[in-house]
Amino acid sequence: MKYAIVDFRITEEEKYNITSLGYKIIICPPSQALYEAVCGHPDMLLHIISKNKIMVHKDVDKNFIALLKNLGFSVLLSGNELKDIYPYDIILNSVSLSNLFMHNIKYTDPELLKLMTSKKLINVKQGYSKCSTAIVTERAVMTSDKSIAKALITENIDVLLLPPGDIELPNLNYGFIGGCCGLLNENTLAFYGDLNYYAYGNEVLSFLKKHNVKPVYLRKDKLIDRGSLFVIEN
């Protein structure tokens, strides 16, 4: 079975569209330690180690851990606590590809870092690495962060560098491209919103076509940052 881990604030329209694609929804419980805008964002609260292994922040609702374990997933806890000030809010907000791990390594949770020793570590200044990075394939990403783009281009990753802005994030000025989407499978990228309402939608569509990835729109409106959508399966 395939599951989509999502922010607790997703709309009924978004829920319907996810489930109609064959995915069961797992609601990510909010953290009281984080500020309201991102308190339920999956990319702030957990990290997908593999399709069936997940690291969650150590103070997560115990019912969430029990739910994941009952579904057959392996659950690990972070070593550090989440706090509402930078850099203590970014401990799990990193990017994992098959052979690369990218983050502001100085602030990566130590328990997470231990699990990444087989990968090449890419250090970047941007601590909100996953928020800022939309994974298209193992060799292609989208970001509006120049330090991330520079680092990944050096690793022969194809990067679409987008201007910041035009992505909604309630209570903040704007959201990030990584936080408004997530791969459902290797050929399908789901968006919280519709690229036809996005200022740089044509550039994104061209990039996706280049890499044989199709977009799926979970709502007919502007893109909104709900924290990365993560898919797990067992």
Residue 79: what pLDDT? 98
For residue 95, the model assigns a pLDDT of 98
Collapsing DSSP states into helix, strand and coil, what is residue 136? Answer: strand
What pLDDT is recorded for position 51? 86
The pTM of the full predicted model, rounded to 2 decimals, is 0.97
The per-residue pLDDT string of the chain (234 residues; one tens digit each, 9 = 90 and over) reads 999 999 999 999 999 999 999 999 999 999 999 999 999 999 999 999 998 999 999 999 999 999 999 999 999 999 999 999 999 999 999 999 999 999 999 999 999 999 999 999 999 999 999 999 999 999 999 999 999 999 999 999 999 999 999 999 999 999 999 999 999 999 999 999 999 999 999 999 999 999 999 999 999 999 999 999 999 999
The domains found in the chain, sorted by start residue, are 2-233 (3.75.10.10)
Q: Alpha-carbon distance 22 to 65, whole Å? A: 23
Q: What is the pLDDT of residue 205?
A: 98
Beta strands across the sheet bearing 181-185: 181-185, 188-191, 214-217
From edge to edge, which strands make up the β-sheet containing 53-56?
46-50, 53-56, 74-77
Q: How far apart are CA 188 and CA 215, in angstroms?
A: 6
Which residues, 6 or more positions from 218, have their beta carbon under 8 angstroms from its beta carbon? 10, 13, 14, 17, 18, 190, 191, 192, 193
Q: 37 in helix, strand or coil?
A: helix
What gap in Å lies between CA 54 and CA 51, rounded to an integer? 8
Predicted pLDDT at 98 = 94
Which pair of tokens denotes residue 100? 């690369």
Residue for token digits 């609260």?
A: 45
Nearest to 224, CA basis, from 173, 171, 169: 169
Query: How confident is the model at residue 100, as a pLDDT?
Result: 98
Integer-rounded Cα radius of gyration of the chain? 16
- pLDDT score recorded for residue 154: 98
Query: 10 Å Cβ neighbour count for 35?
Result: 12
Cα atoms in the Cβ-side hemisphere of radius 13 Å centred on 86: 8
